[in-house]
Amino acid sequence: MASFKPDKEFSDIATKLWDADENRLTPGTDYAINLQGKTFYHNMGQRDSAKEPLFSYVNMEKLKKMPTYKCFIALLDNYESETGIAEVVTEAEVRENQVFIDAIMETKVMKIVHKYLADKKLSPKDVRGFKHQLYDMWFKLYRRTRGDRDFDSSGFEHVFVGENKRNTNEVTGFHNWIKFYLEEVKGNIDYKGWLPPKIKRGRPRADNNAQLVTIQFTWKGGVKPLGSSFIGTSPEFEMALYTLFFLTSEKDEQDVEIEDYDVQVKVHHLGKMLGSCYPVIRQ
């Protein structure tokens, strides 16, 4: 396993975004998780190390009162999860996407990342131009699988909503805790347990106050053998962080320190399109 070598500039801006996330929820107060037993990739969802759901409580009343959360949740039912099936985007859904971008652009984290990217000439300086860039990056449809005829995916769908890979039992993407919780409430997800970090310092233990975890679960008949997600962070924080790394990182993965976490941010480019972006905890 390669050693962890955090980039200082990326770590500084990522930590600045973390500190500016005013809408991040507090573990033990606004929500509670129950990690339960440890599992491993090779179990592939066949062994259940967690008899209870991952989330034991989320203050949904608080979430629904915060504009960015409310707008984010409205987007989650706009997609067909199976790849290879064309997405049909209605005028109402286009408007929901725009309203979400308008809402997150009122927050500190998005203003910080906009200035950072504009100063590096990677994004337009004007807010309207940046909003257009965000829309194209996150919501513009594309073909995820070579040979498919239909535009069946987008960066937002893959990262935040999740997809079922056609003709397999594999869940791809799905790196958002809010979506996970809502699917648990509906009974669509079976949480199987947590996975230890890639770099071990001592014996890793379940930490129910952790705000970055790696888990295994099944969803809609498919399995996600290893999925990493922030917990309790706001939609705008994740949008800001992933936008930052997609536009700035020249590598497929970047080591950064965020708060107390050693994180490897994975970035997948599909040409100029955002294929995926997500965090992997190293310790």
Q: Phi and psi of 230, rounded to 5°?
A: -70, 155
Token pair recorded at residue 126 = 């004007």
Identify the bridge partners of residue 217 per DSSP, sorted by sequence position.
191, 224
Identify the bridge partners of residue 212 per DSSP, sorted by sequence position.
230
Selected catalytic residue, list 114, 179, 192, 224: 224
Selected catalytic residue, list 158, 179, 192, 266: 158
Confirm whether 158 is a catalytic residue: yes
On whether the CB atoms of residues 180 and 229 are closer than 8 A, the answer is yes
Q: ∠200-202-203 over CA atoms, to 5°?
A: 85
- The 10 Å Cβ neighbour count of residue 169 is 13
Confirm whether 224 is a catalytic residue: yes
Q: What distances in angstroms separate CA 199 from CA 4, 11, 124, 145, 282, one per listed residue?
A: 8, 18, 38, 32, 5
Selected catalytic residue, list 131, 175, 192, 266: 175
The catalytic residues are 158, 175, 224
